[in-house]
Amino acid sequence: MASATSISLDFICPITQDIMVEPVLLVEDGHSYEQSALEQWLEYHNTSPLTNKQLNNRQFVPNRNLKSTIEDFRRQQTQSTSAVDFRSFTLRSGRPHNAKWEHCPQLQIIISLLGPSNVGKSVLARNAGYGRPMSKNPVYIVTIQTDVLFFYLDRLFEDQYVVIVQLHDCPGNDRFEAVSDRHFRNCHGAVLMADVTDFQSFERLEKYWYKRLREKSSFDNVEAVLACNKVDLLEAECDPSHRERFFQRADTFVSSLQMPIINISALRGDNVQILFQQLILNILQNESLVKHLKQYARQVHKPASNPTKSCC
CATH topology of domain 91-300: Rossmann fold (3.40.50)
Dihedral, 285, 288, 293, 297 alpha carbons, nearest 10: 110
Share of the chain above pLDDT 70, in %: 84
* 24 touches 38 (CB < 8 A): yes
pLDDT at position 111 is 94
pLDDT at position 298 is 86
- Inform me whether the pLDDT recorded for 133 exceeds 60: no
Helix segments in 87-188, DSSP class H: 121-125, 181-186
Burial of 294 (0-12, 13-18, 19+ CB in 10 A): middle
Indicate the pLDDT class of residue 93, thresholds 50, 70 and 90: confident
Indicate the pLDDT class of residue 179, thresholds 50, 70 and 90: low
Q: Mean of the pLDDT values across residues 104-119?
A: 92
Q: What residues contact residue 40 under an 8 Å CB cut-off, 6+ apart?
A: none
Q: Packing angle between helix 272-284 and helix 287-301, nearest 10 degrees?
A: 80
CA 139 to centroid of chain Cα atoms: 32
* 169 touches 149 (CB < 8 A): yes
Q: What CATH code would you report for 14-86? A: 3.30.40.10
Round the average pLDDT of the chain to a whole number and report it. 84
pLDDT at position 22 is 96
Q: How does pLDDT run across 212-271, given as a tens digit for each residue?
A: 888 888 877 899 999 999 998 877 666 778 888 888 888 988 888 889 999 999 998 899
Strand bridging mode 106-114 / 60-62: unpaired
DSSP string, 246-270: HHHHHHHHHHHHT--EEE-BTTTTB
CA-to-CA dists, residue 98 to 33, 95, 103, 129, 166, angstroms: 43, 9, 10, 18, 19
Domain boundaries along the sequence of the chain: 14-86, 91-300
